[in-house]
């Protein structure tokens, strides 16, 4: 018994030490090397069986994926996510923009409340008390079931945890969950009052840690051409993050009108590749309320690669119950993937028990809930489940049944993954090259350069140092539209992987010719070659 205990300690100690080191230090490479050395050491001194070898290998693989996830999570501390380095364009007079860390951050910290303050707000001193909310902070223990109906047959299910809260509320329900905690840059120590958390930087647009969830919601609605005043109430249902790590495949924003009726939803999907996509859909359900478990139905087209086993050209149908409806005792969501009229796959979320109300839960019930569900939304657990199931599908079905889809680049409406450290460094050199080309030519008056992956695209306008000459334009003089297009070119980078690929081409022109995603590339490339050069 003693030997087994020592062997278990040899296995767990390197993981605990590496986790603690990752949260305190910033040099990830050194930590990964130290972790590997510790894992090798534990295999030398512990009396191992095949079971222990499998456990060590599993820990090693999970730690490797955790290392990759943490590299993407650097975007929270990246300079692009700080509002002082962002240059936003105002979309309208209602747009919130990206203000710097000024008095608004102090106001945000002052409006961060304890559960007692949430239940009995101070109207005179708290600006948040002036706004009413719809719904309550609750944790929904669920069961997620996947059922594939065409192509190949497969089904599986596992436990899942959703947390819901009224968008705009900022509060801490210790020891369960904290919603919209105040942003503290450079704070790395794992000291917090609640195990679960819902942070604005994990949802909607990447980065923007200084922005509230309400501001991000308004920004998205404005980008869709909608009026945020149509939905004064919103309720977010999403997996909570643990230790500032989150792998968030699917979240739901429920939008309510002034009569608190559920009229629209925002479906937020995040792929395993790191891209994120938000769809706004209105309620198209024709049945009367109360005729079934669902009260909302939305439809939208699928335009993002989610899995290599599912087609891109398809559509989604989502049926959902109202998480804020009284009595709140059942959550049921069904997402159906369709290709034409055929159903490809169903994903069903069913609550396995009554939700835990964070505001009224006792300390004993909160601790009991944490004992049962503390591990479910952990990033390593979610990634392991996805990879394990993908490997099982790949190994148990032949290639003709699977019809594996090659990965396609995300479209313009998708939110690109966060840039790696190497891609951030290469972006600086690419900007220097692009700026030098623009300044040394006279065919294009200015170039508007937009980088990907953050809340507000970092926009920079580069002007030509030479006098703009439309007479040198080789096109006929009657093409006024083309001349106007040459006066300013908008150069938008959709994904940060462009920077790592750009430097592998022989010339900038070859890179542009291969990387342009515009359907009108045949008309754009000749004009770009005027100031990039014909491969020279």
In a domain, 124, yes or no: no
User: Is the model's pLDDT at 116 over the cut of 60?
Assistant: no
Copy the structure tokens of residue 316.
Answer: 């989604």
Cβ neighbours of 203 (radius 10 Å): 25
Nearest to 191 by CA among 206, 178, 209: 178
Residues 20-72 have pLDDT tens digits of 555 554 445 455 555 555 555 665 555 666 777 677 667 666 665 555 455 44
Better-predicted residue by pLDDT, 81 or 132 = 132
For 275, half-sphere exposure in the C-beta direction (CA atoms, 13 angstrom radius) is 23
Residues 53 and 182 in one domain: no
Number of domains forming the structure of the chain: 3
Assess whether 190 and 267 both reside in one domain: yes
266 sits in the region (left: phi over 0; alpha: psi -120 to 50; else beta) called: beta
The model's pTM: 0.69
Which pLDDT does position 278 carry in this prediction? 92
Measured CA to CA, the distance from residue 443 to residue 528 in angstroms comes to: 9
Same domain, yes or no, for 250 and 390?
A: yes
Last residue of a domain, one of 76, 95, 113: 76
Which pLDDT does position 21 carry in this prediction?
57
**Cα dist from 126 to 101, 104, 172, 439, whole Å:** 20, 14, 16, 52
Whether residue 104 is contained in a domain is answered as: no
- d(Cα 149, Cα 81) in Å, to the nearest integer? 42
Q: Are residues 375 and 258 in the same domain?
A: yes
Model pLDDT for residues 254-311, shown as the tens digit of each residue: 999 999 999 999 999 988 777 889 999 999 887 766 667 888 999 998 888 788 777 7
Compute the mean pLDDT over every residue in the chain, rounded to the nearest whole number: 72
Task: Report helix, strand or coil for 46.
Answer: coil
**Per DSSP, what are the bridge partners of residue 356?**
139
Average pLDDT, stretch 415-428? Answer: 81
**426-466 pLDDT, tens per residue?**
888 888 888 888 888 777 788 888 887 565 557 788 887 76
Q: How confident is the model at residue 494 (pLDDT cuts 50, 70, 90)?
A: confident
98, part of any domain: no
Q: Does 463 share its domain with 490?
A: yes
The three-point CA angle 163-168-170 to 5° equals 70
Across the range 117-133, mean pLDDT stands at 48
Q: Does residue 143 share a domain with residue 7?
A: no
Structural domain contains residue 93 = no
pLDDT band at 496 (very low <50, low <70, confident <90, very high): confident
Report the pLDDT averaged over residues 321-329: 79
Q: What is the pLDDT of residue 57?
A: 67
**DSSP character string of 195-234:** SEEE-GGGSSSS--TTS-HHHHHHHHHHHTT--GGG--EE
Out of 36, 51, 76, pick the residue that ends a domain. 76
The torsion defined by the Cα of 43, 242, 117 and 364, in degrees rounded to 10, comes to: -50
User: In this predicted structure, what is the pLDDT of residue 203?
Assistant: 86
Tell me the mean pLDDT in the region 76-81: 38
- DSSP letter string over 100-138? -SSHHHHHHHHT-B-HHHHHS--TTT-GGGGS---S--E
Burial 479-490 (b: 16+ CB within 10 A, else e): eeeeeeebeebe
386-401: per-residue pLDDT in tens? 888 888 888 887 766 7
Which residues, other chains included, contact 296 with Cβ-Cβ below 8 Å and sequence gap of 6+? Answer: 254, 262, 265, 283, 285, 318, 319, 320, 321, 322
- 58 and 180 inside one domain: no
Note whether residue 254 is domain-resident. Answer: yes
* Res. 195 pLDDT band, cuts 50 70 90: confident
Same domain, 208 and 146: yes
At 407 the pLDDT is 72
User: By residue range, what is the domain housing residue 185?
Assistant: 134-402
Q: Are both 428 and 338 inside the same structural domain?
A: no
Same domain membership, residue 362 and residue 273: yes
Residue 518 lies in a domain: yes
Rounded distance between C-alpha atoms, residue 366 and residue 360, angstroms: 10
Considering the domain architecture, whether residues 521 and 440 belong to the same structural domain is answered as yes
The verdict on 24 and 65 lying in the same domain is yes
Q: Which residues pair with 531 in a beta bridge?
A: none
């Amino acid at each position: 018994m003693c030997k087994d205990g020592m062997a278990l300690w040899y296995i767990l100690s390197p993981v605990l030490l590496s986790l603690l080191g990752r949260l305190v230090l910033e040099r990830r490479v050194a930590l990964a090397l130290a972790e590997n050395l510790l894992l090798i050491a534990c295999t030398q001194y512990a009396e191992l069986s095949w079971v222990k070898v499998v456990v060590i290998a599993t820990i090693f693989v999970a730690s490797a994926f955790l290392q990759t996830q943490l590299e993407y999570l650097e975007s929270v501390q990246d300079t692009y996510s700080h509002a002082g380095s962002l240059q936003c364009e105002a979309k309208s007079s209602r747009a919130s923009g990206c203000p710097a860390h000024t008095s608004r951050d102090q106001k945000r910290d002052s409006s961060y409340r304890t559960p007692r303050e949430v239940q009995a707000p101070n109207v005179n001193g708290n600006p948040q008390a002036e706004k009413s909310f719809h719904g309550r902070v609750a944790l929904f223990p669920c069961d997620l079931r996947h059922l594939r109906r065409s192509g190949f047959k497969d089904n599986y299910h596992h436990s899942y945890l959703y947390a819901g809260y009224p968008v705009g509320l900022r509060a801490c329900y210790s020891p369960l969950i904290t919603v919209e905690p105040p942003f503290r840059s450079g704070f790395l120590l794992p000291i917090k009052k609640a195990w679960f958390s819902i942070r604005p930087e994990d949802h909607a647009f990447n980065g923007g840690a200084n922005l509230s969830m309400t501001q991000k919601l308004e920004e998205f609605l404005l980008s869709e051409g909608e009026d945020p005043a149509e939905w004064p109430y919103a309720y977010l249902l999403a997996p909570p993050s643990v230790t500032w790590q989150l792998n968030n495949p699917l979240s739901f924003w429920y939008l309510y009108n002034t009569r608190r009726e559920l009229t629209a939803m925002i479906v937020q999907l995040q792929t395993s590749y790191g891209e994120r996509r938000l769809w706004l859909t209105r309620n198209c359900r024709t049945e009367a309320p109360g005729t079934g478990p669902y009260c909302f139905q939305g439809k939208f087209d699928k335009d993002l690669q989610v899995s290599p086993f599912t087609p891109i050209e398809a559509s989604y149908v989502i049926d959902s119950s109202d998480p804020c409806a009284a009595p709140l005792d059942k959550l049921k969501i069904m997402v159906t993937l369709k290709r034409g009229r055929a159903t490809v796959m169903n994903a069903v979320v069913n609550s396995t028990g009554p939700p835990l109300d964070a505001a009224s839960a006792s300390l004993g019930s909160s601790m009991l809930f944490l004992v049962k569900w503390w591990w479910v939304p952990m990033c390593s657990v979610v990634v392991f489940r996805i990879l394990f199931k993908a490997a099982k599908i790949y190994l148990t079905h032949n290639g003709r049944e699977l019809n594996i889809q090659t990965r396609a680049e995300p479209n313009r409406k998708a939110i690109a993954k966060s840039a790696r450290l190497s891609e951030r460094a290469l972006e600086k050199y690419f900007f220097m090259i692009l700026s030098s080309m623009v300044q040394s030519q006279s065919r294009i008056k200015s170039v508007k350069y937009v980088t990907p992956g953050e809340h507000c695209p970092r926009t920079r306008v580069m002007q030509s140092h030479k006098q703009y000459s439309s007479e040198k334009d080789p096109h006929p003089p009657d093409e006024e539209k083309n001349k106007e297009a040459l006066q300013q070119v908008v150069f938008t980078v959709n994904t940060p992987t462009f920077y790592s690929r750009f430097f592998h081409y022989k010339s900038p022109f070859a890179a542009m010719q291969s990387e342009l995603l515009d359907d009108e590339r045949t008309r754009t490339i000749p004009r770009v070659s005027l100031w990039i050069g014909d491969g020279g």
